Chains A and B, each alone.
Chain A
Amino acid sequence: GENVEQHPSTLSVQEGDSAVIKCTYSDSASNYFPWYKQELGKRPQLIIDIRSNVGEKKDQRIAVTLNKTAKHFSLHITETQPEDSAVYFCAASKANFGNEKLTFGTGTRLTIIP
């Protein structure tokens, strides 16, 4: 089955600096890569996703890049703010009908230092 590795497990950055979280996946058939943000005591929520036919996607201060050849994808957060402090999870799946299970990474705890 799919295996997703995520690094680093913890990350502290100064407010206003950029943060980068990296994930690798094992199954070359995976084609959908979402990122979820989970605030303390809350449910995970989708912040951005990318499909394998696209190399990069951006939404305001967050962006995701995908390298299919190397089987890795990354989350980039620019101009970080205190409200970006949370745990971030990457995931991968083969997004075909009836087979859309997500395999999650183990999470990155991001702390923004004011």
Chain B
Amino acid sequence: NAGVTQTPKFQVLKTGQSMTLQCAQDMNHNSMYWYRQDPGMGLRLIYYSASEGTTDKGEVPNGYNVSRLNKREFSLRLESAAPSQTSVYFCASSKSGGRGDNEQFFGPGTRLTVL
């Protein structure tokens, strides 16, 4: 099993450009999450998807959109990138489903720089 995979690993954008970060998991997990990690601020939830077909906002959703394409894939889109979105982005997944399987498994991260 590859676990949680993310593409790309690195990306440099100019202000105003758009891009989509891709995430996929092969663990048959129900829930998927997008976080951003900034120095001194820990991990902050951007959006999450409790199950296929549902998405909801997290702590810092402004400037982002998400799509839960199917059970495996959860993408994050920046429509008009801003320098404040320079960060490391992590995707995560968990089995969830109310069974107490709460452990979140993280992908390797995408380091995004917006100039």
Contacts and interface: CB of A to CB of B under 8 A. Distances in A.
Contacts of A42: 108
Contacts, number: 61
Interface residues of A, number: 27
A105 B42 contact: yes
Interface stretch (B15-23, B63-71, B72-80, B96-104): B96-104
B76 to A, nearest CB: 16
Interface residues of B, number: 27
A103 B104 CA distance: 12
Interface in B55-99: 58-59, 90, 94, 96-98
Contact of A49 (B42, B45, B48, B102): B102
Contacts of B103: 34, 46, 49
A49 to B, nearest CB: 7
Contacts of B54: 98
